[in-house]
Amino acid sequence: MAARPELARRVLLYWMDGMIAFIAVAFAFMLLGLVSGGTISAERALLAGALLLTQFALFPFILRAAYDDKPRPTVLLVISGLAMLASVALVPPGLGASTWEIVAGLWLAGLAISVPWRVSVAFGVALAAITVPVAVVVSGLPLAVALVGEGATLVVTPLATWLLVWLWRTIKEAHESQEAKSRLAVAEERLRFARDLHDLLGHSLSVISIKSELAAKLSAKNTGRAAGEMSQVRELAGVALAEVQAAVEGYRSLDLSLELATVRATLEAAGARCTVKAHIDDLTPAARTLLAWAVREGATNILKHSTATRCAITIDRGVLEMRNNGVKGPRRTTGSGLRGLSERLTAAGGTFSASVTDADSDSGEFLLRAAVPA
């Protein structure tokens, strides 16, 4: 799905890789132009091209180290910096095209995403102090023009690269935060259920234990009283069992309106546009609970088994339909979750089906249909 962090990471990285490839091709044509015009020799152009290729080839590795929070690629930065300095010494700015600031800006971009910003600023100022005078001397540009051109490249390129890395880290942190919230919600629900069971059973089981022990002691001396104590134990056990059954039933019940809102937010957060049209006011509480389980299982199925970008949920007269795209070819529809849902609905007198509607398409649609007695 479009908003999944891994897909966002690939898009950002491949976009940067494409930009590097474009710059490399542009520099190749620039060097060919300088050679054909007699500005530099073929040998000099080949050496400069090899140095530039080294720098361009190392940049994707430097970029990925920043994206994946790996250790600082110090060796790669040093080699890239040396290649940059050597290539610029062979083809200084002013020889047909601006060489220095673009190459230096690219190296500075790798530095900006790998070291503290103060270090990057210091290197940027040092590079500007060198490049501006060289551009003025070699190309004869006015000082103001050279200062703006060289300085802008040395600022914009690192800043744009840093912003892309920042964007990726923000997306990653947001996803991790969402996962943490989900885990916390599950943990809180488990804690609540454990607390409820403790509150329900703690007192009852303590009394049952005491009365059972008392009945055992009285069984040899006073059988009538012992029988009375055991009768109370039986009653207490029945009450405790009823309380547990009520707690479990409440734990297993779902609110349909809340489930629809939660599923919609979850799918849209995962990158799938979700529309909901539900008429549920005339449904019985039992029917609402069954459809809530169907909605939850359907959403789980979408997240696990598709790359959906859209999902439509409709409920009318006790019939639920969930339709999503992004299904890759035919697939099994007999997973344990769907099978369990089918059994639950059938036992309640409803019907259930789940199938791919367009199995021959590379991004077919999947339809989950559940009907309950309204």
Q: Do 221 and 263 belong to one domain? A: no
* Rounded average pLDDT over 96-124: 81
Domain end, chosen from 252, 274, 296, is at 252
For the chain, the C-alpha Rg in angstroms (whole number) is 34
* Rounded average pLDDT over 122-131: 81
pLDDT level of residue 250 (50, 70, 90 thresholds): low
Question: Is residue 100 predicted with pLDDT exceeding 80?
Answer: no
pLDDT of residue 202: 60
pLDDT of residue 186: 67
pLDDT of residue 347: 86
pLDDT of residue 291: 92
Q: Do 150 and 199 belong to one domain? A: no
Percent of the chain with pLDDT over 90: 15
How many residues in total does the chain contain? Answer: 374
pLDDT in tens, 317-345: 899 999 998 886 555 555 667 888 888 88
State how far the Cα of 127 lies from the Cα of 102, in Å rounded to an integer.
12
Q: Do 314 and 264 belong to one domain? A: yes
Q: Do 145 and 69 belong to one domain? A: yes
pLDDT in tens, 209-244: 666 776 666 676 767 766 676 777 667 676 666 666
Of the ranges 26-35, 190-199, 311-320, which one carries the lowest mean pLDDT score? 190-199
Q: Residue 94 has what DSSP assignment?
A: T
pLDDT of residue 69: 83
Question: Is residue 2 predicted with pLDDT exceeding 50?
Answer: no
pLDDT level of residue 97 (50, 70, 90 thresholds): low
State how far the Cα of 288 lies from the Cα of 372, in Å rounded to an integer.
9
Q: Do 240 and 336 belong to one domain? A: no
Range of 229's domain? 187-252
Residue whose token pair is 């529809």 = 333
Q: Do 93 and 136 belong to one domain? A: yes
Question: Is residue 144 predicted with pLDDT exceeding 80?
Answer: no
**CATH code at 283?**
3.30.565.10
CA distances from 189 to 172, 193, 194, 295 (A): 26, 6, 9, 20
Percent of the chain with pLDDT over 70: 73
Non-local CB neighbours of 87 within 8 Å, separated by 6+ positions: 48, 51, 52, 55, 99, 103
180 assigned to some structural domain: no
**CATH code at 205?**
1.20.5.1930
Token pair belonging to 120: 């990057």
Domain end, chosen from 230, 252, 274, is at 252
pLDDT in tens, 37-84: 888 889 988 998 899 999 999 999 999 998 888 888 999 999 998 998
pTM: 0.49
Domain count, the chain: 3
Average pLDDT, the chain: 79
Q: Do 19 and 158 belong to one domain? A: yes
pLDDT in tens, 115-124: 888 888 888 8
pLDDT of residue 312: 94
Question: Is residue 262 predicted with pLDDT exceeding 90?
Answer: no
pLDDT of residue 330: 58
Q: Which one-letter amino acid corresponds to residue 239?
A: V
- The sign of the CA dihedral 302, 308, 309, 314 is negative
